[in-house]
Every structure is written in C-alpha cells, then in structure tokens.
Amino acid sequence: MSPKESQLLNEVLENTQLQHQPFVVIRDQSWFPAKPILRELVRRAVARGETPTLVSTLNPIEDLVPCGMPVGRIKTLDLSGEVAGYSALGPFSETKERIVSSYKGGQMFIDAIDVLAEDYTASSVICLVRELLTSVKAHKSPSRLVLLLSEGSLLSHLISPTFSTTLTLLTPHSSALLTHLSKLYLSPISENPSPNYWMVLENAVKRQTGKELALRGEEDVEFGWAKGEVVVIQVLVRKATGGMKGTSRSLEALTPTSLPGALVVCPLSSILDLTPFSLPQSSSVLGTTEPTHASLDLPFNLALTDKQKQKRDQVPLPYAHEGEGASGDLIWIDEEETDDEEI
C-alpha cells in the first residue's frame, strides 16, 4: 500500500485531502450504524476551531454530538420531531428553506436525509442536496457536505458520477465480517484491496451478509459497534478526473482512544490476520510454479471445508442404491422372429 493511499482515511477525517472533496457520504447500515464516524468528524472539526452545521432529521441532536461536547459549539437544526402524520409538517419548500438558510459556510452534516425523501419525494431531496452542494463549493475549502445515508435508491442516486463527479464514500465493516469473507472466497485482505475483494465487500453490503450472520450468531459477527471494538472502514475517493487514476480505494481501521468517543486510525494488520486461511501448497512443474486458488484471487471459492464436505455426504442421492436387494430368478423371453412373407 502506497503512503498516499494509507493516509486516505486520516485525510478525510482531518479534511486535508490535497484535491479538496466537497462531498462526503457515510453509508449507514441498519445492523452496523455509522454514527460514530459522524461524531468523530464533528469532534475533529470543533477541535480545529470550526463551527460546523449539524442538521438532524431522524436522531436527536444529542445522539450526534460527540461525548462531552457542549451543543452550543455547533450550529444545529433539529427536524427529528417533525414527522409526517404526527406533527404539523409543512410543505417541502419551507423545510428546504430552513435547511439551506442554516448553512453559512464551513462543514455541514446532515443525518438521515433519506427520511425527508420518505416524507416528501426523492427528486425534491436530490434537488436540495444539489443546491447545498453548490453552496458548499462556492465557499471553497474547508467547506464540505457530509451525509449519513442508509442503503437505498437515494444513496445510489447521490453517489452516482452523474450527480457529483467528486465523492468520498465511507463504509464501516466489522472485522469479523472481513475475516469471514476472506475465508469464504479465499481472498487475502489488504489495505490496498484488489478489485475482486472490493467487489466481494460491495456485494456483501447489498446482500446484507453481515446482518444475516449477526442474526444467526455465526462467525462472531455482532450487531453494532461493541464498546472498545476496532472497526474497518472501506474508503472510496473519486476525483473529478475520473477513471482508474482518479479513484483511490483503501481498507483502514479505526480504534478507540482514551478520550471518550474519540477514534484514531491504525494499521489494518494490527487488528486482524490479513490471510486468515491456509494457503494450499503449489507444485513445481518444469521449473514453473502452478498457480493456486489464492494466488489467482478469484471472487468465488471452489474448495470445500470439512463442515461442507460433511454436509455434502449427508445429502441423499437419488438412484444411489437402485437394484440392490433384488431377489428371484430373472426370466428372459425371446420373442419369435417371424419372417416377412413375400408377396
């Protein structure tokens, strides 16, 4: 992993990316919430002397403010109490005006803006985000818009290059989930992930693999961030140049510090085994080494574990014992062959 890529997450947290990224999306999963990342971004912004703007549409402001930090150091707009059908929720134009007018520069954090898409329409919320992003770009660095979004259609629209050419996408993962996926697909974990392993992670998010494992209590995957747990952050940075050169990816770890609620970046190799499976032995033929499954880094697994082999042996096969136990003499009858009469 190059030194430049190893600093991706730290540059995002400190808002010191060389090519300023005005648009940051934190992917919030129902089984693994990303609110600690939002709190860390707010905490570091205040520590640098900034006065960020925090808009809440789902969670109370107190749940989004870092532990021990006075709310007065942050400009806040609490919309969490305004729920359609339960309060006098005005037209979207009024809500939009309140959000837009609350921003006066610097960093703006919005929690669960997809809730507004449920109360109103997705297209109106997309227009709101586009207007906010235009205002953020007008204020230049260190101004940026940070959204906490759950998986859904709104997220797919907002992270599309057609909406914004620049993007920083953060996705938290349980370290146990990464270990499980590495064993399952025989793909090594790396701070600079291969395209195949990156695709495995993306598919795991879409299929909610972590949620299913947590529900079944398998592979040591649990719901949420346990106290003192070290988590892995999947970082994607897309620059305006586009293409492979304009996209950077990394897997980095966040670990708690002695300061309550604070997080710090640490090497991925310090929290988990990057190769949690045993590599098969390769044979040499005519002085060349035969490629192994692990070296090919395939996105699928052809090998079977002992548990899988045991389950396979227990599957009843049709016609496996056909003909066994037959008794009695077999009688063969030869039909008489009759010659065709010539006419």
Question: What is the token pair recorded at 192?
Answer: 């600079």
Q: DSSP 3-state assignment of 172?
A: strand
Instruction: Mention every residue, 6+ apart, whose C-beta is less than 8 A from residue 332.
Output: none
In which order are the strands placed within the sheet that holds 107-111?
A: 75-78, 53-56, 107-111, 144-150, 23-28, 167-174, 231-238, 247-256, 263-266
DSSP-assigned letters across all residues of 32-45? S--HHHHHHHHHHH
Distance CA 237, CA 250 (A): 9
Instruction: Write out residues in the chain with pLDDT < 70, as ranges.
Output: 1-6, 83-90, 227-228, 242, 278-302, 319-343
Q: Do 235 and 250 touch, CB atoms closer than 8 A?
A: yes
pLDDT at position 168 is: 94
Instruction: Please tell me the total number of residues recorded for the chain in this structure.
Output: 343
pLDDT at position 4 is: 46
End-to-end CA distance of the chain: 92
Distance CA 230, CA 221 (A): 13
Domains of the chain: 20-164 (3.40.50.300)
DSSP-assigned letters across all residues of 61-79? HHHHSPTT--GGGSEEEE-
pLDDT at position 230 is: 84
- Using the CB atoms, write b or e for 76-107: b if 16+ within 10 Å: bbbbbebeeeeeebeebeebbeebeeebeebb
Instruction: Mention every residue, 6+ apart, whose C-beta is less than 8 A from residue 82.
Output: 88, 89, 95
pLDDT at position 133 is: 94
pLDDT at position 170 is: 95
Closest CA to 128 of 162, 97, 168: 97
- Our measurement of the distance from residue 71's CA atom to the centroid of its chain's CA atoms, rounded to an integer in Å, reads 30
Instruction: Mention every residue, 6+ apart, whose C-beta is less than 8 A from residue 86.
Output: none
Is the whole-model pTM more than 0.85?
A: no
